[in-house]
Amino acid sequence: MNLVVRSALVGVAAGSRSTLGLAQPFLTARRRGLRVLGLLAVGAELVGDKLPTAPSRLDPPGPASRAGAGAVGAVTLARRSGARSVPALAAAAALGAGASTAGTFGGAAWRRLAAERGWPDLPAALGEDAAAVALALLAR
């Protein structure tokens, strides 16, 4: 899978669950200790997201922080793939940040649709979690 697709995948994942942009390199690391660290970070957000006090991802600074997480995740993937030039890293960052918008607003739209159809929120949220984690792992 090429770096463009991988950058977009990690960006969408970060838009859905912001820690996935930052933790994705840990989740796919070769060292077990780093993978555990990534799992702990993502797990904390997955639980925190379900709390009634969790703010909307659409409230500032939500979209901007998710874009930053998508950019960092994409740059980390690019560097891991051997990219070192400023234009290549900037392109990965822009793509990761831009794709996070799809994850941010797409995930919110999914949850809104589920609520409008009367579906329970927890299964809808868990489905979004599963999709976001799958995208982050696929970006490997």
pLDDT at 27: 84
What's residue 18's pLDDT?
A: 92
Dist CA 140 CA 26 (whole Å): 10
Domain coverage including residue 26:
3-139
pLDDT tens digits, 55-106: 999 999 999 999 999 999 999 999 999 999 999 999 999 999 999 999 999 9
Average pLDDT, the chain: 93
pTM: 0.92
Asked if pLDDT for residue 120 goes beyond 90, the answer is yes
Does 109 score more than 90 pLDDT?
A: yes
| Contact assessment for residue 127 and residue 1, using Cβ atoms and an 8 Å cutoff | no
User: Residue 54 gets which letter from DSSP?
Assistant: P
Residue 33: pLDDT over 90: no
If one counts the domains in the chain, the total is 1
